[in-house]
Amino acid sequence: MSHLSSPPPKHKGEHKGHGLPRGSERGSSPRDKDRSVTVSSSVPMPAGGKGSRTNCSHSAPQKTPNRLINEKSPYLLQHAYNPVDWYPWGQEAFDKARKENKPIFLSVGYSTCHWCHMMEEESFQNEEIGRLLSEDFVSVKVDREERPDVDKVYMTFVQATSSGGGWPMSVWLTPNLQPFVGGTYFPPEDGLTRVGFRTVLLRIREQWKQNKKTLLENSQRVTTALLARSEISMGDRQLPPSAATMNSRCFQQLDEGYDEEYGGFAEAPKFPTPVILSFLFSYWLSHRLTQDGSRAQQMALHTLKMMANGGIRDHVGQGFHRYSTDRQWHVPHFEKMLYDQAQLTVAYSQAFQISGDEFYSDVAKGILQYVARNLSHRSGGFYSAEDADSPPERGMRPKEGAFYLWTVKEVQQLLPEHVPGATEPLTSGQLLMKHYGLTEAGNISPSQDPKGELQGQNVLTVRYSLELTAARFGLDVEAVQTLLNTGLEKLFQARKHRPKPHLDSKMLAAWNGLMVSGFAVTGAVLGQERLINYAINGAKFLKRHMFDVASGRLMRTCYAGSGGTVEHSNPPCWGFLEDYTFVVRGLLDLYEASQESAWLEWALRLQDTQDRLFWDSRGGGYFCSEAELGAGLPLRLKDDQDGAEPSANSVSAHNLLRLHGFTGHKDWMDKCVCLLTAFSERMRRVPVALPEMVRALSAHQQTLKQVGGREGPLAGTPGGRRAGAAPGNGERRVGLLGLFLELRSVSVRPRVTVCTGVSAGMSGRLLLCRWRSL
């Protein structure tokens, strides 16, 4: 498939610049360039070709482990038997580089990354390359999900000095941690258009010995330029920009890139981008009587429907894959990420609220069914991801998508029963294959399968509506639905016997916070206490296993141990800004769904800790990492792009508004204003890069209109309560609803009322207020 021949470019949002997430990212960069090798460097590199081909022979991994065997990260453990003297990120590696005056080779990836697997197999298992890395460099391996600060800093360098970025990320640093060469995936050998990894290592080794002074000077200049470029500050500005202007510009930019036929934005690879869908729903809510408002609603709903019908959705086991390699949402990159499931279940719940169409609520419930089955620890936490690759059969080499693809023969054998009442001879298998587009030759185009490995393989994708499929064979729609559901269940049971993709059982506080939101919001929308209980158990897990009571700090990670235990690294990896931000959001969503004040009280405490550790008292906004934790890194960044995950600063703006609304704590409103003002220039320049922050800007300015700029609790909080105190269980948010104007009622189960506007104490995520709250 095309995404196996080169990693995709980055797409709107995860990192700065225009380029995408997790083996790709979030922005608009040229799509037609081969990104399998990205090099940014002042070091001369050969063009490659027949004359420079190498013969790096592969050997079986050595049986003696390196020091990564002592780590907890699944990604680092995947490299524990490489013939490379790997170090984890830390002072031991830095001291060695300074003492021996060697450059640092930094390799950053994650455990479910296809191209990370490729480079590990091709280069890091290679004895000759292993000797080069061990003798001439200090080689450091980083799990980007454990250390997002390290990843962001050096990806900023790679994107700023090359045409894109992605994972694995390969960067060479001075002993003082300043970057001077950067790239992504390298093949082991030189090709006609590609520089081999061995050649890169030899050239950098030579330049370090012969031309080190120039390298250091260039590195310092680049670092200085990046410092200036990454500065985000209020400066002389006193107020954030106009919400109406930013909303209009953001919508227009999205409208220009919208795919009318298949939904989504830009060309392939195509990503779900829940933050964009959330913005469109909010835009519709505030412009519902205008043509643009209707357009925004249609764009979001059509995109969600096309995604749900496409191959990016796992129709057999539910949940969504990472992204589509084509415009049609047909052939996905098959890894499944927790953060996608969390955000998409909220998006589909919102779509159900707006449309009343149970198609969307069914998709949301399917996502949560998948998470509960495949990504849940028995103590309540949520795992990070499932890999794209797995062996087609036991003992075979892993291939991308092997777990999810089907041949016509397999389906026919599993579903041989004849369908009574059809207008022509028909089996259950034939009915399912017609509906989901399976063919004898396979439904993956040759352009997506350059090596011819997937001939005869099929991705399930809905080709016809139930009505059309039923009419084609003269059957009732209900009968077709039952037959398809039965067929999918049989495929699901058969798939259990296939070798499963690798499960990344690492648990991250940030993504667990997003998943708490997913269960809480969907449970509230659908009126299902069972789903809210999943959110409660997730929050309890966070407090029990990822929260240090004495310091009030969150831990970034914990890991599934043997026998269902939970393990931690020693010393623990402390939380980053996104951990606090997403957990606070999850707790506020859970408070609104459950009305249990304990969750609001914990959110208040975490927000205090977040302010203490990450707030920029001079420039406004939050840094991504603690000053102490990021000591030695050349940059301390503020995340300024909403992408596969929303920017932590964007979510913080929402959280501050909500907390102010619940408690009347003026400091949080002031911080929200400072934050929005600090990001003013970024929003003015590229509002589409920060749709979640534009939503927060709108919520803030709407709040000022609603309350006339008055201070103090908005509602549901007695004026006599001290600032920061949480409302009791009996003090329901009835008063808050007075700030909303009822738009219409939708007669669906559960009964819901659409409300306009967003008060500072309400999330705006539950676009509709559950009837029981009234």
Strand ranges for 422-525 from DSSP E: 503-504, 506-508
Whole-number pLDDT of residue 231: 87
| pLDDT > 90: percent of the chain | 75
Among 54-58, 299-303, 760-764, the minimum mean pLDDT is found in 54-58
* Segment 748-762 mean pLDDT: 41
41 pLDDT band, cuts 50/70/90, is low
Pick the CATH number of 508-731 from 1.50.10.20, 3.40.50.720, 3.30.470.20, 2.120.10.30: 1.50.10.20
Q: Is the pLDDT of residue 267 over 90?
A: no
Whole-number pLDDT of residue 130: 97
User: Strand 506-508 to strand 547-548: parallel, antiparallel, or no bridges (unpaired)?
Assistant: unpaired
Higher pLDDT, 160 or 20: 160
Q: Is the pLDDT of residue 47 over 50?
A: no
Q: Is the pLDDT of residue 753 over 80?
A: no
Q: Taking a C-beta distance cutoff of 8 angstroms, is the pair 769, 353 a contact? A: no
Whole-number pLDDT of residue 707: 58
63 pLDDT band, cuts 50/70/90, is confident
Q: Is the pLDDT of residue 709 over 90?
A: no
Residues whose CB is less than 8 angstroms from the CB of residue 411 and which lie 6 or more positions away in sequence, other chains included: 429, 432, 433, 438, 491
Q: Which two tokens stand for residue 103?
A: 């450059």
Whole-number pLDDT of residue 437: 98
CA distance 569 to 360: 40
Q: How many CB atoms lie within 10 A of CB 394?
A: 7
Sign of CA dihedral 12, 15, 17, 23: negative
447 pLDDT band, cuts 50/70/90, is confident
Q: Is the pLDDT of residue 54 over 60?
A: no
> The tokens 């997790």 sit on which residue?
22
* Segment 629-643 mean pLDDT: 88
Q: Taking a C-beta distance cutoff of 8 angstroms, is the pair 582, 648 a contact? A: yes
* Segment 375-380 mean pLDDT: 97
341 pLDDT band, cuts 50/70/90, is very high
The secondary structure of 710-747 as a DSSP string is --S--SSS-TTSPTTPPPPTT--THHHHTTS-EEEEE-
Residues whose CB is less than 8 angstroms from the CB of residue 338 and which lie 6 or more positions away in sequence, other chains included: 371, 375, 382, 383, 384, 385, 508, 511, 512, 514, 515
Q: Is the pLDDT of residue 635 over 60?
A: yes
pLDDT tens-digit readout, 513-532: 999 999 999 999 999 999 99
Beta bridge partners of 88: 141
Sign of CA dihedral 305, 309, 312, 314: positive
730 pLDDT band, cuts 50/70/90, is very low
* Segment 725-733 mean pLDDT: 40
728 pLDDT band, cuts 50/70/90, is very low
Whole-number pLDDT of residue 33: 34
Q: Which two tokens stand for residue 263?
A: 């939904």
Residue 356 per-residue DSSP state = -
Sign of CA dihedral 634, 639, 642, 646: positive
Highest mean pLDDT among 21-30, 135-144, 634-643: 135-144
pLDDT tens-digit readout, 315-333: 999 999 999 999 999 999 9
Pick the CATH number of 2-229 from 3.40.30.10, 2.60.40.10, 3.10.129.10, 3.40.50.620: 3.40.30.10
What rounded mean pLDDT belongs to the chain? 86
Alpha-carbon separation of residue 305 from 300, 329, 354, 360 (angstroms): 9, 11, 14, 8
Q: What 3-state class would DSSP assign to 171?
A: strand
Same fold, 2-229 and 508-731: no
> The tokens 């399976």 sit on which residue?
438
Among 341-350, 562-571, 675-684, the minimum mean pLDDT is found in 562-571
765 pLDDT band, cuts 50/70/90, is low
CA distance 422 to 557: 55
Whole-number pLDDT of residue 236: 78
Q: Is the pLDDT of residue 735 over 90?
A: no
Whole-number pLDDT of residue 20: 31
Whole-number pLDDT of residue 181: 94
pLDDT tens-digit readout, 491-521: 999 999 999 999 999 999 999 999 999 999 9
Whole-number pLDDT of residue 39: 53
Interhelix angle for 529-545 vs 509-526, to 10°? Answer: 160
Whole-number pLDDT of residue 752: 39
The structural domains of the chain, with segments of one domain joined by +, span 2-229, 404-495, 508-731
* Segment 16-20 mean pLDDT: 32
Q: Is the pLDDT of residue 56 over 90?
A: no
Question: 615-647: b or e for each residue (b if 16 or more CB lie within 10 Å)?
Answer: bbeebbbbbbbbeebbeebbbbbbbbbbbbbbb
Q: Secondary structure of the chain: what % helix, strand, coil (to 5)?
A: 45, 10, 45
> The tokens 């994107």 sit on which residue?
159
CA distance 186 to 7: 11
Residue 507 per-residue DSSP state = E
335 pLDDT band, cuts 50/70/90, is very high
Q: Taking a C-beta distance cutoff of 8 angstroms, is the pair 470, 480 a contact? A: yes
37 pLDDT band, cuts 50/70/90, is very low
Residue 375 per-residue DSSP state = S
Q: What 3-state class would DSSP assign to 557?
A: strand
CA distance 381 to 541: 6
Q: Taking a C-beta distance cutoff of 8 angstroms, is the pair 516, 508 a contact? A: no
Q: Which two tokens stand for residue 272?
A: 């779900």
Model pTM score: 0.87
Residues whose CB is less than 8 angstroms from the CB of residue 538 and which lie 6 or more positions away in sequence, other chains included: 380, 381, 382, 512, 515, 516, 519, 586
Alpha-carbon separation of residue 739 from 7, 189, 673, 715, 756 (angstroms): 48, 65, 21, 9, 9
706 pLDDT band, cuts 50/70/90, is low
Q: Which two tokens stand for residue 23?
A: 């083996």
Q: Which two tokens stand for residue 551?
A: 């310091």
pLDDT tens-digit readout, 535-554: 999 999 999 999 999 999 99
Strand ranges for 436-554 from DSSP E: 503-504, 506-508, 547-548, 553-554
